[in-house]
Amino acid sequence: MSAAGRNVVVALVVGCAGVGVGAWIVKASMPRPVVPPVESAEGDADAQRLLGKEVDQLKRELVRFKLEKLSDRAAAAKTAEAVSASETPAVPAPRTPEERAARAKESAERWKHQLDVTFEGQHRDGDWALDAERKAQAAVSAVGPGVTLRSATCAETMCRIVINNQDAAQQQDLARALADKEPFASGSAFDQEGLTTIVYVTRAGQTLPHLDQ
Amino acid sequence: MFKSQKFLIVGVAAALLAGIQSQASAITATSFDWETPGSVCMPSDGKTSEWTWGPNFGVNRNCSSCTGSANLVCPLSTLFTGGGSGGSGTFGFLEVDVYDRSSTANVSCTLFLINLDGSNVFTQTQTSSGNSPNVQLLSFNVNVSEGSYANATVQCSVPAATSSGVSHVANFITSASTP
């Protein structure tokens, strides 16, 4: 093996060690559970008594955990209030309906771009893709007249399905009509361009890429 | 110092930093959970007299003359600030607690993330299985930025009561995280 190759191997090993050190830091920073002292049990009565003590201890732990969680939430809410009061956000919150609509449109366009980029960067998982495309075709056909499938293309973990709608009212109902059908049920993002609906569908067990802020 | 040694030092430092950074981010990310009772649900298909609402166990379809399934719409809209109002977090997970006591049909719930103009941004559906006296958890792995939608609504289809018991939509737990 060349010197450069050895160095790459060493870097990888040390990288793994870095992950381990990080995990150790996280673990060390977490509160340790209080473990009740273990007593020697002799006979059924002792075992019963020990079991009862352990159950009591667990109940106390649960209450403590719930109280800690509530306390964490209150602290987080206070922090959020303090931050919003003291800091000016990088992008000011929209004030008017027009600003809100513009922000929503801009977010939708950025998300669609991310979905397209991710989809186009994937290779095709033949068996799954073919099965998902057939199911998409069947689901769209079942919606009824006026709704036609223009294309259904699946890759590795997502599909892009383009549907033509005859009118706007029908287009509004499309998501509801498809939401519980395969492959749409596992998660579908909808985008509209005129009377064309583009649906990005995620493979079961996967999620769609979310919008980067 | 040889060039390959420099690469080694830079590589080691970068790998160590990346490893520690990935673990440290687990400490700094903030996660919030909200619970919403099933009693917020409303009938969405006109079968208004078939439901019973309660302070606990949400809403149930406890009527002897009911048949088939009926739909509820359950707005979770007050919990989120997305869709143009500047939400910077991520809607990570939704869990719907349901009781499926029907021997003939399941409880099915669909999450709708809705835009300001009422159009659908995202949907996902989960369905219970079999029937049981115990609660079943319908888990949604959502992972959608709060900046992408304006509100969240769940629609559930609930079967009529059978000899196995009455079906409920009991509770919603939403989990979001901020960067």
pLDDT digits (tens, 9 = 90+) for B34-75: 889 999 999 999 898 999 999 989 999 988 888 999 999 999
Interface of B with A in 123-162 (CB under 8 A): 123-127, 141-145, 147-148, 150, 155
Please provide the average confidence, as pLDDT, over all residues in chain A: 75
Tokens of A89: 């956000």
pLDDT beyond 50 at B156: yes
Chain B residues 63-82 with a CB less than 8 Å from chain A = 82
Chain A with chain B: Cβ pairs closer than 8 A: 167
Calpha distance A211→B146 (Å, rounded): 9
Collect all residues of chain B within an 8 Å Cβ-Cβ radius of residue A7: 4-5, 7-8, 11
Report domain extents, chain B: 30-178
Considering the segment(s) B30-178 as one domain, its CATH architecture is Sandwich (2.60)
- CA atoms within 13 A of residue B19's CA, in its CB half-sphere: 21
What mean pLDDT do residues A119-145 have?
A: 95
Considering only residues A75 and A169, tell me which one the structure prediction assigns the higher pLDDT: A169
**How many Å apart are CA B101 and CA B104, to the nearest integer?**
9
- Mean pLDDT over the full length of chain B: 83
**In terms of CA atoms, which chain B residue is nearest residue A112?**
B148
Higher pLDDT, B53 or A66: B53
Give residue B157's pLDDT. 96
B40 touches B74 (CB < 8 A): yes
Give the start-end residues of each E strand in chain B.
Answer: 30-37, 42-43, 52-53, 59-60, 69-75, 90-99, 108-114, 120-127, 136-145, 151-159, 168-178
**In the predicted model, is pLDDT for residue A70 greater than 50?**
no
Interface membership of A200 toward B (CB under 8 Å): no
Residue B156: beta bridge partners?
Answer: B72, B109
| CB spacing of A185 vs B124 below 8 angstroms | yes
The DSSP-derived string for A55-99 is HHHHHHHHHHHHHHHHHHHHHHHHHHHHHHHH---SSPPP-SHHH
**What is the model's pTM?**
0.67
The label of the residue with tokens 């997970």 reads B93
Does the interface predicted TM-score (ipTM) exceed 0.85? no
Distance CA(A146)–CA(B67), nearest Å, equals: 31
Which residues in chain A touch residue B5, judged by CB atoms under 8 angstroms apart? 7
Nearest chain B residue to A178 by CA distance is B123
Which of A8, A14, A198 is the best mutation test for B, with the most CBs of B within 10 A? Answer: A14
Q: Would you say residue B174 has pLDDT above 80?
A: yes
3-state secondary structure at position A157? coil
- Do B16 and A21 count as a contact with CB atoms less than 8 A apart? yes
| pLDDT at residue A187 greater than cutoff 90 | yes
